[in-house]
Structure 1
Amino acid sequence: MANRSNQLVIPGARAALEQMKYEVAQELGIMLPQDGYYGNMTTREMGSIGGYITRRLIQIAEQQLAGRY
């Protein structure tokens, strides 16, 4: 059965994902609020950030797999 919780499997991953979120937002020209409240962000902006993070994570995984085989 698939694990469908939002708990991270790797303990230090949260900090890396937060850093990636800010890097991607900067690349897209989206200013993230410093107070951490995202209620004023549009769905399109947040979706763009999430989509690019997913693409980057897939790219990293593909590179790691390519190095293994």
Structure 2
Amino acid sequence: MANNRNQQLVVQNARAALEQMKFEIAQELGIQLPQDGYYGNMLTRDAGRIGGGITRRLVQMAEQQLAGRY
């Protein structure tokens, strides 16, 4: 996830959890993340796969929480 100043997290403490999720998903997909934090040389396809994995996992977590409420 890019560190963009225009992106505001609703829950500020979620940043560390999202970063951890990014590393977990990249590892599951066999994608090596750059050690220096610069993602400019990363393949767009790989970045999209990681972002898609994060989105799928977040949707799954939300669905589980909603299912528990009703």
- Normalising to structure 1: TM-score of the pair? 0.90
The amino acid of 2:40's aligned partner reads G
Aligned residues: 65
Partner secondary structure for residue 59 of structure 1:
helix
Structure 2 match to 1:32: 33
Dislocated runs of 4+, deviation >2 Å: none
Deviation at 1:39, TM superposition (A): 1.1
Q: Show the 5 A alignment for 1:1-69.
A: 6-69=7-70
Unpaired runs of at least 5, structure 2: 1-5
- Normalising to structure 2: TM-score of the pair? 0.89
Deviation at 1:34, TM superposition (A): 1.1
Q: Percent of counterpart pairs with the same letter?
A: 77
RMSD: 0.8
Unpaired runs of at least 5, structure 1: none
Distance 1:11 1:49 in 2: 21
